[in-house]
Amino acid sequence: MKQLGHEEIDILKMDIEGAEYGVIEDIIKKSIFPRQILIEFHHRFDPFSIADTKKAIHDLMCNDYEVFYISDNYQEFSLIYGA
Which domain, by its residues, includes 25?
11-81
**What is the value of pTM for the model shown?**
0.91
Residue 5 lies in a domain: no
pLDDT of res. 79 = 98
Number of domains in the chain: 1
- CATH number, domain of 77, equals 3.30.110
Residue 58 lies in a domain: yes
pLDDT of res. 33 = 96
Residue 3 lies in a domain: no
pLDDT of res. 56 = 98
Q: Which residues of the chain have pLDDT under 50?
A: none
Please tell me the chain's helix, strand, coil percentages from 3-state DSSP, rounded to the nearest 5: 25, 25, 50
Q: How many CA atoms lie within 13 A of 71 on its CB side?
A: 9
pLDDT of res. 22 = 97
Residue 41 lies in a domain: yes
